Amino acid sequence: MRTSALLVAVLAGLPAIAAAQGSNPSLGRDLAAGCAHCHGTDGISAGVTESLAGRRAEQIVQTVKEFREGKKPATIMHQISKGYTDAQIAAIAAYFAAQKPAK
């Protein structure tokens, strides 16, 4: 159940991810690494900041877009999310979705 939901989410994001990655399969990984100083290595947070590892990709995408559009209150994510394209956000979300959540 969990796997299939994940698969659907990842597949749904595939065209955008492919567009963002071009010939570079490590793009999602590299972009997601930019989140680690606040969200932890591979999205596993030890602080008050939310963990992103193992979250559904579509949920991450939706949340970031709500931050970007000012629909969701934020202290900093409304400013950071404006720096990334839809395709980049999809690539980041797919990377975190594929990570094992913290034990």
Partner 1 sequence: MTREFKRRDFIKFVGAGAAATLAGCATETMAPKPAGRVFVIGGGFGGATAAKYIRMWSGGAIQVFLVEREQQFVSCPLSNLVLAGSRTIEQNTRGYGKLRDYGVTVLQGEVAAIDPQKRLVKFKAKYGDMSYDRLVLAPGIDFMYDQLPGLNNAEAQKQVLHAWKAGEQTVALRKQLEAMPDGGVFLFSFPKMPYRCPPGPYERVCQVADYLKRAKPRSKILVLDANPDIVSKKGLFLAAWNDQYKGIIEYRPNQEARDVDVRGRTVKTEFDSFKGDVLNVVPPQRAGAIAAQAGVVTANNRWCEVNWLTTESIKVPNIHVIGDATQSAAGMPKSGSMANQQAKIAASAIVALMTGQQVNQTPMINNTCYSYTSATEAMHVTSIHAWDPAKKTLLPVKGAGGVSPARSTLEKQFADGWAINIWNDMLG
d(CA 60, CA 86): 12
With contacts defined by CB under 8 A, name the span among 3-11, 59-67, 81-89, 94-102 that binds partner 1: 81-89
Residues 3-62 that bind partner 1 (CB under 8 A): 22-24, 26-27, 29-31, 33-34, 36-41, 45-49
Q: How far is the CB of 83 from partner 1 (least distance, A)?
A: 3
Exposure class string for 85-96: b at 16+ Cβ within 10 A, else e: eebbbbbbbbbb
What is the DSSP secondary-structure string of 30-41?
A: HHHHTTHHHH-G
Does the protein bind partner 1 through residue 84 (CB under 8 A)?
yes
Closest separation in Å from C-beta 20 to partner 1: 9
The C-alpha atoms of residue 5 and residue 55 are separated, in whole angstroms, by: 11
Residues that bind partner 1 (CB under 8 A): 22-24, 26-27, 29-31, 33-34, 36-41, 45-49, 75-76, 79-84, 88
